[in-house]
Amino acid sequence: MPAEDRRDPESLVRRIREGDPAAEEELVCRYRRPVALVLWGARRDPPAIDDLLQETFRIAIEKVRAGDLRQPDRLSGFLCSLARNLAVGHFRKIAARRITGPPDERALVSPEPSALENLLRSERAAIVRRVLSEMRSERDHQILFRFYLQEQEKAEICRDLGLTSLHFNRVLFRARERYRALYEEAERKAAG
């Protein structure tokens, strides 16, 4: 099969329907990242994301195998909606259990980070400090702090600091890209 065909969602759906296990694996590999992001966007609860991720692919593969996916070219949209609905359902269940049922055992797990997490966090914190130190302007620091940490509206920050929308975007873009470069450099060093 030509490479282009293999990337085509319709071809992937067809192969899953035909019982090709490699196609199922490919589905998971290809869509794991966006599904995880959608689940994170809905719940922001890492332990639940792992469970929901598995559940999303289990249901998706069952439906595709059974031919329930009517529009194979809409595979992405189908997975996206499925992940979102599962996350919302899970959230409702948890909320109902909090009101009527026994306490969630996850609440008993210590929220403290492990030693490894602490180490990784301190390394990443060093990268962030480097990004900030490279931003000489106090105003740029303020933009990052107020937007990312205080979660203030862009319009409000621009008004307070007398900034244009373009300048604001540039600061955010520059910080984000510098962070990306430093982070990748740190990862390369750690790997090599």
Partner 1 sequence: MRPDDAPLTTMEHQEIDTELFAERYVAGELAPEEQARFEEHFFDCAKCMETIEIVRRFRDDLSGAGVSVASSMPLRSRVPTLLLAASLLLAAAGAAYFYREDRDTRRELAALQGTSAKAVQHDREARSSETAGPLREAPLAATVFTLNLTRNAGSSGPDNRVSLGAGPHWLVFLFDEPEGRYSGPYRARLATTDGRPVGPPVDAASSSSGMLAASFLSTDLAPGDYALTVETASSGEPAPPVTYRFRAVADRVR
Tokens of 20: 């090709």
Q: In angstroms, give the least distance from the CB of 102 to partner 1.
A: 29
Q: How many residues sit in the footprint of partner 1 (CB under 8 A)?
A: 52
Query: Could you please report the per-residue DSSP string of 104-159?
Result: PGGGGS--SPPHHHHHHHHHHHHHHHHHHHH---HHHHHHHIIIIIS---HHHHHH
Nearer to partner 1, 61 or 158 (CB): 158
Show contacts with partner 1 in window 53-112 (CB under 8 A).
76-77, 79-80, 84
- Rg over alpha carbons for the chain, rounded to the nearest Å, is 22
Using alpha carbons, select from 147, 132, 173, 142 the residue that is nearest to residue 155.
147
Residues present in the chain in total = 192
Show contacts with partner 1 in window 148-167 (CB under 8 A).
148-156, 159-160, 165
Amino acid in position 129 = R
| Residue selected from 92, 97, 98, 121 as contacting partner 1 according to rule CB under 8 A | 121
In the chain the first and final C-alpha atoms are separated, in Å, by 36
Binding status of residue 124 toward partner 1 by CB under 8 A: yes
Q: In angstroms, give the least distance from the CB of 85 to partner 1.
A: 11
What's the rounded Cα separation, in Å, for the pair 3 and 117? Answer: 40
Q: In angstroms, give the least distance from the CB of 185 to partner 1.
A: 14
Chain Cα centroid distance, residue 92: 21
Amino acid in position 61 = I
Q: Taking CB under 8 A as the rule, which mask of x and - marks residues 6-25 in contact with partner 1?
A: -x------------------
Chain position carrying tokens 């510098």: 178
| Residue selected from 61, 94, 172, 186 as contacting partner 1 according to rule CB under 8 A | 172
Residues that bind partner 1 (CB under 8 A): 7, 30-31, 33-34, 37-38, 40-41, 44, 76-77, 79-80, 84, 121, 124-129, 131-132, 138-139, 141-142, 144-156, 159-160, 165, 169, 172-173, 175-176, 179-180, 183
